[in-house]
Amino acid sequence: MVLNALRNLRARHTSHLLHAAKAPRAADGEVLLDTVGLTKSYAGADGELPVLGGIDLKVRAGEVVALLGKSGSGKSTLLRCLAGLVPASSGTISYRDEPLTGANPGTAMVFQTFALLPWLTVQQNVELGLEARGVPADDRADAARQAIDLIGLDGFESAYPKELSGGMRQRVGFARALVVEPDVLMMDEPFSALDVLTAENLRGELMELWESGQFPTRAIVLVTHNIEEAVLMADRIVVLGSRPYGTIRETFEVGLERPRDRNAPAFEDLIDRVYRVMTGRAKETLPQALHSVRAGGTSLPGRPDGVGLDKRTTANTPLPLASVDGLSGLAEMVAHRDGRCDLADLADDLGLAVDDMLPLVDALELLGFAKISDDDLLLTEAGTAYAGADVQQSKTIFAEAAMGAPLVRLITTSLRQNPDGTLRAGFFRDVLAHHYTSEQVAQQLETATDWGRYAELYAYDADPQEYRLDNGLAAPATQS
For 125-165, the pLDDT digits (tens) are 899 888 888 888 888 889 888 888 887 777 788 888 888 88
pLDDT at residue 188 is higher than 70: yes
Q: pLDDT tier at 293 (50, 70, 90 boundaries)?
A: very low
pLDDT value at position 67? 94
Backbone angles phi, psi at 438, to 5 degrees: -60, -40
- Sorted by where each begins, the domain ranges of the chain are 2-106+182-278, 309-391, 403-469
Distance separating alpha carbons of residues 108 and 129, to the nearest angstrom: 9
pLDDT value at position 150? 83
pLDDT value at position 286? 26
The per-residue pLDDT for range 229-280, each reduced to its tens digit, is: 899 999 999 998 866 678 888 999 998 988 888 888 999 899 888 888 876 5
CA 450 to chain centre: 21
Q: Which of these ranges, 108-122, 291-305, 369-383, has the smallest mean pLDDT?
A: 291-305
pLDDT value at position 280? 53
Q: pLDDT tier at 13 (50, 70, 90 boundaries)?
A: very low
In the predicted model, what is the mean pLDDT of residues 100-121?
Answer: 85
pLDDT at residue 409 is higher than 60: yes
CB 392 within 8 A of CB 352: no
CB 57 within 8 A of CB 33: yes
In the predicted model, what is the mean pLDDT of residues 89-112?
Answer: 88
The per-residue pLDDT for range 469-478, each reduced to its tens digit, is: 876 443 444 4
pLDDT value at position 272? 86
Burial state string for 96-119 with b = 16 or more CB within 10 A and e = fewer than 16: eeeebeeebebbbbbbbbbebeee
| CATH 3.40.50.300 fits domain 2-106+182-278 | yes
Q: Is 0.85 topped by the overall pTM?
A: no
pLDDT value at position 287? 30
pLDDT value at position 129? 82
pLDDT value at position 205? 80
**CATH T-level topology, domain 309-391:** Arc Repressor Mutant, subunit A (1.10.10)
In the predicted model, what is the mean pLDDT of residues 47-71?
Answer: 86
Distance separating alpha carbons of residues 429 and 427, to the nearest angstrom: 5
Q: pLDDT tier at 45 (50, 70, 90 boundaries)?
A: low
In the predicted model, what is the mean pLDDT of residues 408-422?
Answer: 91
In the predicted model, what is the mean pLDDT of residues 185-207?
Answer: 81
pLDDT at residue 401 is higher than 90: yes
CB 100 within 8 A of CB 83: no
Q: pLDDT tier at 351 (50, 70, 90 boundaries)?
A: low
Greatest mean pLDDT among 202-211, 398-407, 457-466 lies in 398-407
Q: How confident is the prediction for the chain on average, in pLDDT?
A: 79
State the angle between helix axes of 166-178 and 196-212 in degrees (0 to 180), rounded to the nearest 10: 30
Distance separating alpha carbons of residues 428 and 407, to the nearest angstrom: 9
